[in-house]
């Protein structure tokens, strides 16, 4: 089975969530949300070890919150940067090991990722030695292109449009080249795939899941709680 270093990115402040506590540390079924995400990766046979990226501001506090879930586990916690891209880079610096490992980058605020999806993405990335793989789901809603003043210009064919998720998995050396090229061009991407795509490397899509949602609102958190209760039945 293909294996990877998991890089869980949880370095944000959660300001968009509207909570005094960063969303990744909000209680969810008696544990921080981030602890659920971590458990999914530690439960996957496709994961060798985990690099957990925590907020740089208040790093020690964040580390103390997560400490009960790290002890004796194959997890290394590091401080992130000012942006998500900076935080991933800080994690990549710690992901290096023997050879050129696969690195599976995942949003800490996606706590419902399944170990099976993790394994599928890692396996697909190994099968694309010059590129990598990402989880994604097809767009099912009708897409409209609108003008600057909010009027519909036309309807977009949604057939080949997908919503990107994480994990996103690539060789460490490819990620290093992609990040270096982005820095040189002043490019900031919303995910790792965007940086790799700029190099012309192939990125394969693996079927994601609607359950693998990213918590960005109180409504999302409520949905995650409901899904967790359903999983236990």
User: Span 43-61, mean pLDDT?
Assistant: 96
User: Would you say residue 54 has pLDDT above 80?
Assistant: yes
Rounded-to-integer distance, Cα 217 and Cα 213, Å: 11
User: Would you say residue 15 has pLDDT above 80?
Assistant: no
Structure confidence at residue 96 as a pLDDT band (50, 70, 90)? confident
Q: What is the CATH number of the domain that holds 228?
A: 3.90.550.10
Q: How far from each other are the two terminal CA atoms of the chain, in whole angstroms? A: 30
What is the number of structural domains in the chain? 1
User: Span 52-67, mean pLDDT?
Assistant: 96
* pLDDT at residue 22 in the model: 84
User: Span 43-47, mean pLDDT?
Assistant: 96
Structure confidence at residue 17 as a pLDDT band (50, 70, 90)? low
User: Span 46-59, mean pLDDT?
Assistant: 96
Mean pLDDT (the chain, rounded): 93
* pLDDT at residue 42 in the model: 96
Structure confidence at residue 18 as a pLDDT band (50, 70, 90)? low
Residues 101, 76 contacting (CB under 8 angstroms): no
Higher pLDDT, 107 or 218: 107
Least confident of 21-25, 151-155, 216-220: 21-25
Q: Can you give the residue range of the structural domain that contains 209? A: 4-232
Structure confidence at residue 194 as a pLDDT band (50, 70, 90)? very high
Report the 10 Å Cβ neighbour count for 25: 23
Q: How far does CA 115 lie from the centroid of its chain? A: 14
Rounded-to-integer distance, Cα 110 and Cα 224, Å: 9
Helix/strand/coil percent split, the chain, to 5: 35, 25, 35
* pLDDT at residue 153 in the model: 96
User: Span 136-159, mean pLDDT?
Assistant: 96
> Whole-model pTM?
0.94
Structure confidence at residue 221 as a pLDDT band (50, 70, 90)? very high
* pLDDT at residue 220 in the model: 94
Structure confidence at residue 12 as a pLDDT band (50, 70, 90)? confident
């Amino acid at each position: 089975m293909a294996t990877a270093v998991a890089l869980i990115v949880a370095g944000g402040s959660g300001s968009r969530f509207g909570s005094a506590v960063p969303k990744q540390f909000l209680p969810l079924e008696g544990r921080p949300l981030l602890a659920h995400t971590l458990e999914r990766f530690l439960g996957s046979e496709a994961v060798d070890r985990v690099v957990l990226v925590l907020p740089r501001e208040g790093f020690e506090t964040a580390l103390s919150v997560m400490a009960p879930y790290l002890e004796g586990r194959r997890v290394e916690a590091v401080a992130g940067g000012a942006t998500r891209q900076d935080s991933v880079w800080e994690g990549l610096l710690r992901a290096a090991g023997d050879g050129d490992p696969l690195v599976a980058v995942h949003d800490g605020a996606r706590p419902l990722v399944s170990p099976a999806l993790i394994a599928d993405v890692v396996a697909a990335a190994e099968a694309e030695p010059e590129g990598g793989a990402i989880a994604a789901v097809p767009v099912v809603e009708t897409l409209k292109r609108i003008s600057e003043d909010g009027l519909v210009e036309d309807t977009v064919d949604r057939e080949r449009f997908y919503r990107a998720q994480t994990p996103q998995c690539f060789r460490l050396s490819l990620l290093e080249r992609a990040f270096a090229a982005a820095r040189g061009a002043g490019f900031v991407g919303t995910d790792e795939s965007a940086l790799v795509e700029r190099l012309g490397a192939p990125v394969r899509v693996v079927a994601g899941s609607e359950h693998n949602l990213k918590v960005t609102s109180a409504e999302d958190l409520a949905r995650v709680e409901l899904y967790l209760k359903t999983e236990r039945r």
